[in-house]
Amino acid sequence: MIKKTRGTLVQISNAVAEAQAAIDVFAPGKVLVTASKEEGDFLITGSYEYEKDQWATWIETIFISRKGQPYYDTDLFIGFFKARADWLNASLEIKGYCDKAGKHPSQYKVGDQPLIMNGDVCFMREV
């Protein structure tokens, strides 16, 4: 949904709360959503654990001007994490296997099983 706004602090806080609540439905406690302002644009940031004690972030500009009309769209931001929900909920061990096998986080699905042979990793999936 696209919402027109002037980007007040309350509206920005609401956008963060909306995104956090939506993400917590499919990846509870796995992503921390925050906001910041950079060069006049408001950014929404989602931080998540990529490897043990190593965090990665995804940043979207949520308040930008189009023909003088500021707007934001949290659905695009939420969609990034929704596409990776199974991976976000996986153990760090599985995430490590995905990384080693070159499997993109959005491609991992629950039920994918790592096959480890001679230190190499690939994934098998039951059909």
d(CA 83, CA 123): 18
d(CA 2, CA 120): 45
Q: Angle CA(114)–CA(116)–CA(118) in degrees, nearest 5?
A: 165
Beta strand segments in 19-95, E: 31-38, 41-51, 54-66, 69-72
Which amino acid, 45? T
* Residue the block writes with tokens 């979207």: 60
And the tokens for 37?
């302002």
And the tokens for 60?
């979207």
Which amino acid, 121? V
- Helix, strand, coil percentages for the chain (3-state, nearest 5): 35, 40, 25
Residue 41 reports pLDDT greater than 70: no
**7-20 pLDDT per residue, tens:** 566 677 888 899 99
**70-126 pLDDT per residue, tens:** 556 688 889 989 999 999 999 888 888 888 888 888 998 888 877 777 777 777 665
118 backbone dihedrals φ, ψ, rounded to 5°: 55, 40
pTM for this prediction: 0.75
Residue 1 reports pLDDT greater than 60: no
Handedness of CA 44, 48, 50, 52 (dihedral sign): positive
